[in-house]
Amino acid sequence: MTVGFEENLMRAVTWHGRGDVRVDTVPDPRIEEPTDVVVEITSTGICGSDLHLIDVLSPFMTEGDVMGHEPMGVVREVGSDVTAVKPGDRVVIPFNVSCGTCWMCAEGLFSQCETTQNRDAGTGASLFGYTKLYGQIPGGQAEYLRVPFGNTLPIKVPAGLPDDRFVYLSDVLPTAWQAVQYAGVPQGGTLLVLGLGPIGDMSTRIAQHLGVERVWGADVVPDRLRRARDHDVETIDTTKQKEVVAAIRDATDGRGPDAVIDAVGMEAHGSPFASAAQKATALVPDAIMERVMTVAGIDRLAALNTALEAVRRGGTVSLSGVYGGATDPLPLMRMFDKQIQLRMGQANVWRWVPDILPMLVEGDPLGVDEFATHRVPLEDAKRAYADFRQKRNGTVKVLLQP
């Protein structure tokens, strides 16, 4: 990796502006602390929230930022204090950077790690490859990645199975698992998932695996709907609020489902004002827009409002889709009247690893081996981002392979 003061170089996906990602040559990561490890990346995903970085969250990015937070690979170098992993070990890296030893981590709230909280920004634990709001730590869409907390953060996985079996432990699996756990569907209950992208799709599979009796998914993208139906999910082929609510109530004796997972977040189309505010991020200087976004509501809340309207009285809305507005309006009178429970937050990856990892080692009940629709070289990242963003060529989940 490094010899003396010689600087080696690697290839990485970097941010260059709104809608502009490139594969550049950047310096290799180095061991900076005794507990660091350096991982050679073998597979790394493109996440729906990566698209936010080249759209509405652009004001919080800096040109040249290395993107990506869904990596796995092989340990190549370890710091002097690292004993939990060694060179040659195969590891998955959680998207949230957590120490594993603070009070929050001990409570299972790894996404709120007190060691890496970004107190100046007022945000939780740092994230790999995700804006100044979350530490501006170089991401994992690269040939190599420096990983702190080498004794507690990497997830060691066995050899002999394909990357696809384990790579989703970085984000997709724990995010979807937490979404279903937070939904709290009662035995024999019903669940509606809004949005059948990677997180929504995996949420339906996990819900079924955990025994939820009836699961519906709502979307308009034909490839996503087909994938869901292939796994026996009942589909609602629309995202218009009135149509979704009518369909799910017809299917649940007029009551609505016990829980709704909003797996869409700020991608949702809805409020013209929010749409205009999002587009303004491309027109207003970043320094100004950054301040606006920390005090204003800039989200399109169509999916969340659909969830609140669709769920039965006394039901639960589980929010896994990312929102970015500071003062987004919520229909609190309606929520109070319906006695809705609302749970949300970044996935606490290590909280769920003990539940998920043994299942992956023993078999493939969630279909992760074939979950990716595209596996492409890292050098093709720019095209892969464009296909994913525009939902073309059947692109639902992309794995980049350096």
pLDDT above 70 for 95: yes
| Segment 171-224, tens digit of pLDDT | 999 999 999 999 999 999 999 999 999 999 999 999 999 999 999 999 999 999
Q: So what's the pLDDT on residue 329?
A: 81
Structure confidence at residue 285 as a pLDDT band (50, 70, 90): low
Q: Are 127 and 175 in contact (CB under 8 A)?
A: no
Whichever domain contains 268, its CATH number is 3.40.50.720
Residue of 368, 268, 261, 366 lying closest to 320 (CA atoms): 261
Report the pLDDT averaged over residues 336-355. Answer: 97
The counts of H helices and E strands in the chain are: 13, 15
Q: b/e map of 25-62 (b: 16 or more CB within 10 Å)? A: ebebbebeeebbbbbbbbbbbbbbbbbbbbbbbbbbbe
| Widest distance between CA atoms in the chain | 71
pLDDT above 90 for 386: yes
Report the pLDDT averaged over residues 332-338. Answer: 95
What's the length of the chain? 402
Mean pLDDT of the chain: 91
How far is it, in rounded angstroms, from Cα 379 to Cα 70? 17
How far is it, in rounded angstroms, from Cα 303 to Cα 269? 8
How far is it, in rounded angstroms, from Cα 46 to Cα 379? 13
Question: Does residue 312 sit in the same domain as residue 391?
Answer: no
Q: b/e map of 219-233 (b: 16 or more CB within 10 Å)? A: bebebbbebbeeeeb
pLDDT above 80 for 336: yes
Residue 4 lies in a domain: no
- The CA-based angle 19-71-200, given to 5 degrees, is 70
Residue 3 lies in a domain: no
Residue 375 belongs to what domain range? 9-170+348-401
Question: Does residue 158 sit in the same domain as residue 273?
Answer: no
Question: Does residue 224 sit in the same domain as residue 352?
Answer: no
**Which whole-number Å values give the CA distances from 32 to 78, 156, 277, 384, in the listed order?**
10, 21, 40, 32
Write down the pTM of the prediction: 0.91
How far is it, in rounded angstroms, from Cα 314 to Cα 326? 27
pLDDT above 90 for 1: no
Question: Does residue 212 sit in the same domain as residue 103?
Answer: no
C-beta atoms surrounding 155 within 10 Å: 20
Structure tokens at 91: 């590891």
How far is it, in rounded angstroms, from Cα 348 to Cα 104? 10
| Segment 109-123, tens digit of pLDDT | 999 999 999 999 999
Instruction: Give percent of the chain above pLDDT 90.
Output: 83
Question: Does residue 154 sit in the same domain as residue 188?
Answer: no
Q: So what's the pLDDT on residue 333?
A: 94
Question: Does residue 395 sit in the same domain as residue 306?
Answer: no
Question: Does residue 215 sit in the same domain as residue 70?
Answer: no
Q: So what's the pLDDT on residue 290?
A: 55
Residue 11 β-bridge partners? 25
Q: So what's the pLDDT on residue 330?
A: 87
Structure tokens at 156: 């060691």
Q: So what's the pLDDT on residue 265?
A: 78
C-beta atoms surrounding 107 within 10 Å: 11
Residue 228 lies in a domain: yes
Question: Does residue 370 sit in the same domain as residue 268?
Answer: no
Q: So what's the pLDDT on residue 269?
A: 43
Number of domains in the chain: 2
Question: Does residue 64 sit in the same domain as residue 97?
Answer: yes
pLDDT above 60 for 166: yes
Q: So what's the pLDDT on residue 287?
A: 53
pLDDT above 50 for 144: yes
| Segment 23-59, tens digit of pLDDT | 999 999 999 999 999 999 999 999 999 998 988 788 8
Report the pLDDT averaged over residues 369-395. Answer: 96
